């Protein structure tokens, strides 16, 4: 195994100082129950955002600080199964934000994290079922979520003169596979390339409406990739496709010199590292950054 299957953990901020970045703001996070989605949820809550999280898996509230429970609303749904599910999630989040903040309904941030790895199948072996499922989860759902939040975000921008604030920020979690053809199967690679294209299109189209759209491109992350690969081994990994990608993955593991004993070559990139990049891109320091694809991969993607 190239990567650890590190379990999700409770996040405790190092500082007790309250960060006002997200005060009065609402963020929607897909895939919030584990991995990068959970880390984004925890960090956004630590920055005082109210967070509406959605995941097809149940959420373990023990992974949140008790002090943050009041600003977190969880909705369990499989967004890929129902074309109307994304609109429903946004409707629920708007209602929840109205109830919590005693302010007009709003969505300030969308973080599209929910995704799935393929089985490393190439174009000659990928099944229709695998192709359809991966493209639905990794590309169709993020686009539907963007479509669902763009209405409220544009309305917020229209209300700037009355104190409504800027439109909003969208962060899509893509992957090194969005720029490379050598790290995953054909379905995952195509889906992440497509998500980068959608990110750039939204950034350009709505640049004058107070809406920014960027992507982060994680390399292999300890808490998710190892478990995903382990699951695919159980479910039937495409051995030929994985054999071609494994040496490229090993290069990233080699780029992580501070590996713990017994880590079996694990990369030291964590879900929290990716979440920190997400928070940077949605903050004021990144107010002029729009349409970028930010790698979080310790230079793995420069090859």
Q: What is the DSSP string of 108-144?
A: -EEEE----------TTT--HHHHHHHHIIIIIHHHH
Which pLDDT score, from 0 to 100, does residue 164 have? 45
Lowest mean pLDDT among 30-34, 233-237, 286-290: 233-237
pLDDT band at 163 (very low <50, low <70, confident <90, very high): very low
- 188 is a catalytic site residue: yes
Rounded Cα distance between 283 and 230, Å, is 35
11, 25, 192, 298: which is the annotated catalytic residue? 192
259 as an active site residue: the answer is no
Answer with the residue of higher pLDDT: 109 or 254.
109
Which tokens go with 135?
Answer: 């493209």
The catalytic residue among 3, 11, 25, 188 is 188
pTM of the model: 0.89
Q: Which of 86-90, 161-165, 188-192 has the lowest mean pLDDT?
A: 161-165
Mean local confidence (pLDDT), 215-235: 74
Q: What is the pLDDT of residue 225?
A: 59
> What is the per-residue pLDDT across 112-155, written as a single tens digit (0 to 9) for each?
999 999 999 999 999 999 999 999 999 999 999 999 999 999 99
Domains and CATH numbers, the chain: 26-293 (3.40.50.720)
Three-state secondary-structure class, residue 101 = helix
DSSP state string for 148-206 = HHHHHHHHHHHTGGGT----EEEEEE--GGGT-SSSS-HHHHHHHHHHHHHHHHHHHHT
9 confidence band (pLDDT: 50, 70, 90): confident
Residue 7's contacts (CB-CB under 8 Å, 6 or more residues apart) are: 223
Among candidates 34, 46, 70, 94, which has minimal Cα distance to 226? Answer: 34
Which residues on adjacent β-strands are paired with residue 296? 218
Predicted confidence (pLDDT) at residue 261 exceeds the cutoff of 90 = no
Which has more confidence, 28 or 96?
28
258 has a pLDDT exceeding 90: no
């Amino acid at each position: 195994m190239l990567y650890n299957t590190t379990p999700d953990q409770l996040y405790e901020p190092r500082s007790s100082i309250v960060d006002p970045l997200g005060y009065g703001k609402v963020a929607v996070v897909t895939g919030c129950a584990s991995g990068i989605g959970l880390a984004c949820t925890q960090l956004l809550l630590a920055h005082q955002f109210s967070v509406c999280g959605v995941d097809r898996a149940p959420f373990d509230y023990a992974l949140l600080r008790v002090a943050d429970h009041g600003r977190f609303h969880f909705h369990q749904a499989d967004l890929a199964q129902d074309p109307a599910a994304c609109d429903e999630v946004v409707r629920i989040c708007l209602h929840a934000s109205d109830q919590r903040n005693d302010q007009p309904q709003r969505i300030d941030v969308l973080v599209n994290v929910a995704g799935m790895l393929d089985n490393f199948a190439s174009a000659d072996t990928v099944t229709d079922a695998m192709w359809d499922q991966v493209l639905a989860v990794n590309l169709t759902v993020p686009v539907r979520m963007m479509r669902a939040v763009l209405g409220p975000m544009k309305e917020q921008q229209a209300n700037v003169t009355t104190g409504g604030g800027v439109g909003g920020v969208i962060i899509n979690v893509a992957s090194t596979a969005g720029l490379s053809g050598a790290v995953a199967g054909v379905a995952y690679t195509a889906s992440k390339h497509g998500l980068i294209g959608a990110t750039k299109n939204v950034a350009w189209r709505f640049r004058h409406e107070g809406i920014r759209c960027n992507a982060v491109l994680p390399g292999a992350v300890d808490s998710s990739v190892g478990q995903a690969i382990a699951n695919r081994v159980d479910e039937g990994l495409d051995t030929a496709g994985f054999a071609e990608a494994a040496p490229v993955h090993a290069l990233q593991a080699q780029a992580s010199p501070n590996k713990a004993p017994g880590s079996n070559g694990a990369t030291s990139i964590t879900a929290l590292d990716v979440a920190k990049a997400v928070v940077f891109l949605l903050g004021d320091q990144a107010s002029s950054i729009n349409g970028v694809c930010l790698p979080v991969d310790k230079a793995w993607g420069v090859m």
